[in-house]
Amino acid sequence: MPASRQDIGRRAEELAAQFLRDQGLEILARNYRRRLGELDIVARSAGVLVVAEVRSRASAAFGGAAASVGWRKRQRITRAASALLQQHPEFARLAVRFDVLIVSEPLSPSPGIEWLRHAFEARAQ
């Protein structure tokens, strides 16, 4: 039976979280859900709160995984990040950076990960 989209997504997020740990980031939260949106991974690195969106695609058709983080998705991510900062005031002193991690072929024996730092900026709502 082929893997479901949820299985592929979970595997991509596991790989991305481990990748960030290997790069020295501390994972603070995964799948932080609020009514306004969801944050796949929240991590800390040297005074920076990293909000990471994990994307996985089987092919680069239609612009690939990076292009799939459109303005509406970015808006939902920034709103969820705002809720996180309100809920955890200890994070408010940190600079916030929005990254995208693209996991290619997450179920293969050698998946690839591309890390787009500063993939987008929060806009005032």
CATH tag, 5-120? 3.40.1350.10
Say what the pLDDT of residue 71 is: 86
User: In the chain, what are the domain boundaries?
Assistant: 5-120
Is it the case that residue 47 has pLDDT exceeding 60? yes
Say what the pLDDT of residue 59 is: 53
For residue 112, give the 3-state DSSP assignment: strand
Is it the case that residue 11 has pLDDT exceeding 90? yes
pTM of the predicted structure, to 2 decimals: 0.88
Local confidence band at 66 (pLDDT 50, 70, 90 cut-offs): low
Q: Which residues of 81-106 are buried (b: 16+ CB within 10 A; e: fewer)?
A: bbbbeeeeeebeeeebbbbbbbbbeb
Local confidence band at 115 (pLDDT 50, 70, 90 cut-offs): very high
Local confidence band at 33 (pLDDT 50, 70, 90 cut-offs): very high
| Beta-ladder partners of 35 | none
Question: Rounded to whole angstroms, how far apart are CA atoms 44 and 107?
Answer: 27
